[in-house]
Amino acid sequence: MSKTTRPTSDLENSGIRQSYAVAGEDDRGDRMVLMDRRQFVYSVVIPVFNSEAIVGETIDRVVSFFDEAGLRFELVLVNDGSRDGSWNLIKQRALADARIVALSLLRNSGQHHANLAGFRETTGDYVITMDDDLQNPPDQIEVLIDGAMTGRDAVFGKFTQKAATRHRTLGTKVIGLINRRIFGQPPDLAVTNFRILRRDVVDRICASRTAYPYITGQALLYSSDRANVEVRHAPRPVGKSSYSALRIARLVANILFSYSSFPLRLAAFFGFVVSCLSFVVGTIYLIHGMVSSSRVEGWTSLIVLLAFFNGVTIALLSMLGEYVVRTLNSVSSHEPYHVVERVRD
């Protein structure tokens, strides 16, 4: 079979070696060229939080997959302020295996901060992110890599059947709507934390100096050729998810206030509607006072209206204040997280 070539693209600009293997057609019917996955180095980033009981097995299975596949890799484990023995475990693994890197953050900064810290430690041509609880089976990494070998710069795992709680399912749907609205997520694309990103996409994310990183949205912003591959999603073997309804609500708020003016516009629209209604009510009372005798009544109505309109004013000021606080945090904070210990050969 003869080899085909592509015109110069971001693949070349990113410095990734191009070695083509076989040609075929993708799901859109376009001709594609598969690259040789053995020509690349893969970095796997795993945020770790209170996972002492399971993270050791996760590490073993990830290392076993790459060893059996004969692929070069590095595994970056980021301890996100765990309160159990997770740090000691991953530290010992990093000391025993030069291919494993361990970072410990000063405090619990959240999954997206931990992923960003891991991104900045990676050196691979492709970066894979996954959870520490084996709900993303390590053998499914092969599916992600095969998807990336078609030349895509971002490939997201699409779960054939997801084992998740009801509030997480609802939260996923809400965040999906936000991603489509703010980050231009295509309607037919499903995004998850189990993904593989090309080096140039990761570099763009690392260069973005925001105090509120949102890796999924940034991956959508800084990539141009995305795709899904179907992967398995396994039940959590031990423990329970740390993603409570409150944490999901905080994530939604962070996305809205950090990457969108939608809350401000919504508040402005609400204020405009209230102003119009107030004008109508004021006009009605003015006409009523002109055509009827004057009475000293309406004290209760006056107090209620004043309280309502003052409440609306305070709500609008609070909304503006939230943007001001986030702007101050962005310009005054050099790093959204702090690494207190690093183990790397």
DSSP secondary structure, 157-192, as one string: EEESS----HHHHHHHHHHHHHHHHHS---TT----
Kindly report the pTM of this predicted structure: 0.75
- HSE, side-chain direction, 13 A CA sphere, residue 46: 35
Give the domain ranges of the chain.
10-259+337-343, 262-332
The CATH number of 10-259+337-343 is 3.90.550.10
Q: What is the pLDDT along the chain (345 residues), one digit of tens a residue?
A: 333 333 344 454 555 545 444 445 555 555 456 899 999 999 999 999 999 999 999 999 999 999 999 999 999 999 999 999 999 999 999 999 999 999 999 999 889 999 999 999 999 999 999 999 999 999 999 999 999 999 999 999 999 876 555 656 676 677 777 778 778 888 889 999 999 999 999 999 999 877 788 999 999 999 999 999 999 988 877 766 665 677 777 777 777 777 777 777 777 677 667 767 766 766 766 676 667 665 656 655 676 676 667 667 767 777 777 777 667 666 655 567 788 899 987
